[in-house]
């Protein structure tokens, strides 16, 4: 089971719901929801906001949910409209090299990004 699947299962248990209940709320079959939990299918992007709203997730739960999504995704789609060719080339190069970074390098990059957000 993926990190996302674990989050969704815990959320259901905390809400005393069956898989069918959550699937009905999300407008999908229980088998599709099961496939998302088990990493066989990607979670539809619309679920992020929908789950936060349906289950009134706290800020902490939303952070945990986002982290679970990130840890479960095998690939992501990035919109480069409005980004220069140099910028999009840098992003693709970074994505290809990411598996070679160690934890301290990743933390250093995260720190740089967080500092940029504050400006």
Q: Which domain holds residue 33?
A: 3-72
Does residue 79 form part of some domain? no
What is the tens place of the pLDDT at every residue in 29-47?
A: 999 999 998 888 889 989 9
Is the same domain home to 60 and 113?
no
What is the reported pTM? 0.63
Same-domain check for residues 23 and 62: yes
**pLDDT of the residue at 105:** 94
Burial of 9 (0-12, 13-18, 19+ CB in 10 A): middle
Judgement on whether residues 65 and 98 belong to the same structural domain of the protein: no
Neighbours of 22 (CB within 10 A): 21
What percent of the chain clears pLDDT 90, i.e. is strictly above it?
64
Number of domains in the chain: 2
User: Are 19 and 52 part of one and the same domain?
Assistant: yes
């Amino acid at each position: 089971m993926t990190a996302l699947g674990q989050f969704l299962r815990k959320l259901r248990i905390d809400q005393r719901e069956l898989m069918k209940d959550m699937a009905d709320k999300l407008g999908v079959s229980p088998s599709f929801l099961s496939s998302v939990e088990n990493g066989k299918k990607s979670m539809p992007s619309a679920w992020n906001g929908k789950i936060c709203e349906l289950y009134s997730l706290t800020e902490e739960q939303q952070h945990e949910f986002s982290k679970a999504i990130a840890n479960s995704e095998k690939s992501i789609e990035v919109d480069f409209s409005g980004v220069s060719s140099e910028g999009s080339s840098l992003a693709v190069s970074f994505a290809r090299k990411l598996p070679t970074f160690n934890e301290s390098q990743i933390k250093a990059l995260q720190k740089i990004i967080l500092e940029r957000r504050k400006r």
